[in-house]
Structure 1
Amino acid sequence: MASTLLPLATFFLVLSASYLQIAGAKAQPLTSLKLNSPILQESIAKEINENPEAGWEAAINPHFSNYTVEQFKRLLGVKPTPKKELRSTPAISHPKSLKLPKNFDARTAWSQCSTIGRILDQGHCGSCWAFGAVESLSDRFCIHFDVNISLSVNDLLACCGFLCGSGCDGGYPLYAWQYLAHHGVVTEECDPYFDQIGCSHPGCEPAYRTPKCVKKCVSGNQVWKKSKHYSVNAYRVSSDPHDIMTEVYKNGPVEVAFTVYEDFAHYKSGVYKHITGYELGGHAVKLIGWGTTEDGEDYWLLANQWNREWGDVCFLNYSST
């Protein structure tokens, strides 16, 4: 397929609820003892499951059963974007006149787009910032051009370099979208993700280094430059829930970033909100919808990239905004 342009957005989910903060907010230092302790704790799961106000169920998920806190923190690869860059990036809002549905799921709205429901695995690498961007870009190519295509996370991760941050040691979602606009990304077929093992082995050790940028398709039938797909620009969306919903409703899934606490590793089902545990870092995912439970609790619908062993989607509370 020839190089293609598509207008896309990235934004930071900045809500006023106490458990949601701008991704990459500086976490308090953790002791060596804490960093080397297991991320999954029976005491945390018990506290959540015995709390009638929690609204979600916790479990000791096998996916993280061998992880220490330090190993889990490596997956949280969102670095805090400099305030100057945020202020200089256009922030859009949408007219309030559009009547939105009470519940919306992009997987249903655009059922022809198989990429929306794909759940990937970032493996050993703190590449969430790259996954959220490239997955959203893939979805929007399908939504706007009716083309099911999986784009390459590896291209962005390996070739963006210092512009995007530190590769597997974390990056900046905003700069990722700037890379997509200026340099584009090739298809996944051309440049597949470097970690095909995922996190199936104990603790995901050793941590992988950022892959090298090769700029050559693994398949001899494809040419790197001709496989490139571009976004037009990068912009922020107002943190008002209506603006976020309208953006998804009109244009498709978006990348969002939020602060992760210890209890998030224990998520099993329900509408998540922070209950207990230390702040660990910033994480980026793909936002694909929203809804309201029968009890009247509002939530965001998120697709995470920790493999289906952890869970295909997550419901994140936003009713306290």
Structure 2
Amino acid sequence: MALFRLCALFLLAAAPFALGAPAGEAKTEQVAAVGAEPLPNAEDMVKKVNEAKTTWTAEELPRISSMSLNAKKGLMGLKAFHDGGFQKHKQLLGARPKSASKLDATKLPQHFDSRKQFTKCAKVIGTIQDQSNCGSCWAVSSASVIQDRICIASNGEQKVHISAQDILSCATDRSQGCNGGYPDEAFEHYAQSGVVTGSGNSANQGCKPYPFLPHTTVEYSTPECSKKCENYQYKKAYKQDKHFGMSVYNVQFSDPVDIQYEIMNNGPVEANMIVYYDFMFYKSGVYQTVFPWPLGGHAVRIVGWGVDGPTKVPYWLVANSWNTDWGEDGYFRIRRGTDESYIESWGVNYASAIVE
């Protein structure tokens, strides 16, 4: 079973209240909640969630339940705020007014799935990655959004797999590779320096395939940034393999309607969210935290939205990067419109693709 390292998230450095911590540095609401007081074990956590009869169900995963709390912290590179910094930041998030959308929400469909809307790109958009035991969610999710948008902008003519490794290794002005990074820097790197092709960890395709094996207990280090293709079977030169973007956006405190229109018109977006302890045991349904012990942050890819039939709860449809054996075949649904886990306010990132 896959073993993964969560990566903590951050806000854009230009924001007046931004946190300077890259992904890989977890934000804890109460140090005691995660440190001094023991968290429930996997069996108890799953039982608590399922007995709460909320909008989602939990399951015990061997890859998580077999890990000690310290091991879980180690996977996230946990660095707690000793001055209550996260709590103060939460207050700022709550006090900052959300943008009032000027777009017409009544014209939005109740259900939208990028895989079904952009049918020529369904296979590209439907790809679920495995970041393995590296805090690379910021690079993996950003690379996935980039390749989705290249395909959509080219009307399905360019089905490329963008190299998460190229971003992970070379977008390093502020980011720290497997120790965490900033999605906005990933998109800036795409626009300014370009990114090459690659493949997931189950294939050896493109210029720079993802170097880490899935389902591993090995803790990986960040590969060096090389300016050449690492797949000797790939015939195109590194510089000629570059893909470029433009118009990089880091949007915070968004109205959900704005996010919906962006996805509907241009494709999936990267989003930042807090990971609470119960989220690690998500199996199915519409997630909303039941036991909010914050463990860190995570970069994910929103591909659509809908309304759950049984519960009538609106949700975002989100692709994770923990392989297909987690959640709903690698996806999860999370409550929409209530800023659950700060997925709407913490930062949505994307860029426009330049296609020939």
TM range (shorter): 0.7 to 0.9
Q: Deviations over 1:125-154 (max 9, x none)?
A: 000001111100000111110211101000
Amino acid at match of 1:270: G
State whether residues 102 and 292 of structure 1, in contact with CA within 8 Å, keep that contact through their aligned partners in structure 2.
yes
TM-score if structure 2 supplies the norm length?
Answer: 0.72
User: Paired residue for 1:49?
Assistant: 50
Aligned to 1:4: none
1:99 match: 107
Corresponding letter in the other structure for 2:211:
F
The alpha carbon displacement at 1:73 in A equals: 4.5
Q: Aligned to 2:180, which of 170, 174, 178?
A: 170
Deviation by residue 1:163-211 (Cα, 9 ceiling, x = unmatched): 141110100111111111111110001001110x22x24xx23x11111
* Correspondence for 1:192: 209
Contact 1:38 1:66 (8 Å CA) reproduced = no
Partner Cα distance (1:247, 1:225) in 2: 30
Cα gap change, 1:25 to 1:167, in 2 (>3 Å): closer
1:236 aligns with 2:250: yes
Distance in 1, Cα, partners of 2:221 & 2:292: 29
| Bigger relative CO (Cα 8 Å, ≥ 6 apart) | 1
Paired position in structure 1 for 2:92: none
Does 1:128 pair with 2:128? no
Q: Which residue of 2 aligns with 1:59?
A: 59
Q: How does 1:31-50 map to 2 (within 5 A)?
A: 34=35, 41-50=42-51
1:313 pairs with 2:331: yes
Query: Cα distance 1:104–1:27, how it changes in 2: closer, same or farther (>3 A)?
Result: same
**Distance (whole Å) between structure 2 residues aligned to residue 40 and residue 288 of structure 1:** 32
Gaps of 5+ in 1: 1-10, 13-22, 84-90
Are the aligned partners of 2:28 and 2:34 in contact in 1 as well (CA < 8 Å)?
no
Q: Is the alpha carbon distance of 1:75 and 1:254 closer, same or farther for their aligned partners in structure 2, counting shifts above 3 Å? A: farther
Tell me, yes or no, if the aligned pair for 1:77 and 1:127 is still in contact at 8 Å: no
Q: Which residue of 2 aligns with 1:263?
A: 278
Contact between 1:78 and 1:128, CA under 8 Å: does it hold in 2?
no
Determine the C-alpha separation between the residues in 1 that align with 2:115 and 2:75: 25
Q: Give the equivalent residue in structure 2 for 1:250.
A: 265
Q: Which aligned pairs between 1:146-225 and structure 2 lie closer than 5 A? A: 146=156, 147-161=158-172, 163-188=173-198, 189-195=206-212, 197-198=213-214, 200-201=215-216, 204-205=217-218, 207-217=219-229, 218-219=231-232, 220-225=234-239
Cα distance change, pair 74–183 in 1 and its aligned pair in 2 (3 A): farther
Measured against aligned partners, the alpha-carbon deviations of 1:243-271 in whole angstroms (never above 9, x if no partner) come to 00000000000000100010011000000
Question: Cα deviation per residue 1:271-291 (whole Å; 9 max; x = unaligned)?
Answer: 001111521111001100000
Number of residue equivalences: 285
Structure 2 residue identity aligned to 1:313: Y
- Report the CA distance shift for 1:40/1:156 in structure 2 as closer, same or farther (over 3 A): farther
Tell whether the 8 Å contact from 1:290 to 1:301 is kept in structure 2 after alignment.
yes
SS of residue paired to 2:151: helix
**How many angstroms apart in 1 are the aligned matches of 2:160 and 2:106?**
30
Q: Which residue is 2:347 aligned to?
A: none
SS at match of 1:112: helix
Seen in structure 2, the aligned counterparts of structure 1 residues 231 and 42 have a Cα distance that, compared at 3 Å, is: same
Deviates more, 1:235-244 or 1:118-127: 235-244
Q: Does the 8 A contact of 1:303 with 1:314 survive in 2?
A: yes
SS in 2 for 1:95: coil
* Deviation at residue 316 of structure 1 after TM alignment: 0.5
Mapped contact 1:56–1:268 kept (Cα < 8 A): yes
Structure 2 letter corresponding to 1:226 = Q
Letter in 2 for 1:310: W
d(CA) in 2 for partners of 1:223, 1:141: 20
State the partner residue of 1:8. Answer: none
User: What's the % identity of the aligned pairs?
Assistant: 38
Counterpart residue type for residue 64 of structure 2: F
* Deviation, structure 1 residue 212: 0.9
Q: Secondary structure at the match of 2:221?
A: coil
The answer for unaligned runs of 5 or more in structure 2 is: 1-10, 13-22, 80-84, 90-98, 199-205, 340-356
Amino acid at match of 2:181: G
RMSD: 3.1
d(CA) in 1 for partners of 2:132 and 2:30?
A: 25
CA distance in 2, matches of 1:33, 1:26: 11
Provide the TM-score with structure 1 as the length reference: 0.80
